[in-house]
Amino acid sequence: MKRVLIALGLSTLLLATISPPAPAVETPWLAFSFRSDAEGYGPAHINQPIVAAAERPTQADVTDLDEQTTLVLKGCSLTVVHRDEEAWSSDPSWDVRELLVADLNNDDEQEVALLLWKPFRSDPPVFYDAFGFPSPWEDGSLRNHLFVYTWRDGEWLPLWCSSPIADPISDLTLGDVDGDGANELVALERSYGDGLDAPARQVSVWRWNGWGFTLQWRSPAGAYANLTLQDVTGDGVLDILVQDRG
């Protein structure tokens, strides 16, 4: 009898001191939906649950480009393997963070976008000296770039390589977010100096113009994360969804 009382006493004590875990409060989602009657994309808080996008290929992932070609992102470097042989590999000084295989220039063929960091080189330095203005970046400092490559007829070719990006991109995706039938590039942007876990400061929408990407729209400043595209308004046009950590 004494043992039973002791056991009951203990369980009562445990119940009294361990409260059930509070239900997880999900960070609210925000939808930026294209407005044909206004400039840009209107924000709206949404209540329905959103499934975050699958992680895009990073660190030690293999992506099939075609039946005979794979992209191997291992550590910070990308290798293109064709028929079991290395066809191309990224410069050792690059830190390739993310791949996006998609039709970036709306020609019905897929390209490969690389989001990477590489050391800045004021090349040629004489350019800055001759024109009497300082280089915008310190030599050797890591800068964010977006490079787009094509794989055509067994050749890996650069289609477009950005200069250092003013507002580094932390995440990007592609889809037709204004319903005109052509893809836009949608990015989350940070500032240099922000930590890796810091939320993005802006959402931006870019469109291929034949020789590069033109900014279509940039969101108000905020604290954004987990970019994904889904049609939550039911109008057949993808909405830009982000979690709002502000």
Q: Does 180 bind Ca ion (CB under 5 A)?
A: yes
Q: Does 171 bind Ca ion (CB under 5 A)?
A: no
Question: Of the candidates 86, 107, 123, 138, which one interacts with Ca ion according to CB under 5 A?
Answer: 107
Does residue number 157 form part of the binding site for Ca ion (CB under 5 A)?
no
Specify the residue, 98 or 111, whose C-beta has the smaller distance to Ca ion.
Answer: 111
Question: In this structure, is the dihedral angle defined by the CA atoms of residues 52, 56, 60 and 63, taken in order, positive or negative?
Answer: positive
Q: Shortest approach of Ca ion to residue 196 CB, angstroms?
A: 30
Kindly report the length of the chain: 246
- Least separation in angstroms between CB 102 and Ca ion: 8
Binding mask 220-239 for Ca ion (x = CB under 5 A): -----------x-x-x-x-x
CB 31 to Ca ion: min, Å: 8
Beta carbons of 230 and 53 less than 8 angstroms apart:
no
**Element holding 130 (H helix, E strand):** helix 125-131
- Given the complex with Ca ion, which of 101 and 223 has the nearer CB atom? 101
Shortest distance (Å) from residue 177 CB to Ca ion:
6
Which DSSP symbol is given to 140? T
Return left, alpha or beta for 223; rule: phi > 0 is left, psi -120 to 50 is alpha, else beta: beta
Q: Which of 30, 99, 105, 199 binds Ca ion (CB under 5 A)?
A: 105
CB neighbours (10 Å) of residue 105? Answer: 20
Q: How far is CA 21 from CA 16, 18, 24, in A?
A: 14, 9, 8
Q: Count the site residues for Ca ion by CB under 5 A.
A: 14
Which residues lie below 8 Å from residue 136, measured CB to CB, with a gap of 6+?
A: 164
| Sole window of 75-83, 124-132, 135-143, 174-182 interacting with Ca ion (rule: CB under 5 A) | 174-182
Taking the complex as a whole, the smallest distance from the CB of residue 71 to Ca ion amounts, in Å, to: 16
Distance between CA 101 and CA 170 in Å, rounded? Answer: 17
Closest CA to 33 of 179, 208, 187, 216: 179
Binding pattern for the stretch 182-211 against Ca ion, x by CB under 5 A and - elsewhere: x-----------------------------
CB of 240 to Ca ion, least distance (A): 9
Contacts (Cβ under 8 Å, ≥6 apart) of 203? 32, 186, 187, 188, 189, 218, 219, 222, 224, 227, 240, 242
Contact map string, positions 56 to 95, toward Ca ion, x by CB under 5 A: ----------------------------------------
Q: Which stretch binds Ca ion (CB under 5 A): 47-55, 85-93, 102-110, 119-127?
A: 102-110
- Provide, rounded to whole angstroms, the least separation between the CB of residue 182 and Ca ion: 4
> 3-state SS of the chain: helix, strand, coil percent to 5?
10, 45, 45
Binding residues vs Ca ion (CB under 5 A): 103, 105, 107, 109, 111, 176, 178, 180, 182, 231, 233, 235, 237, 239
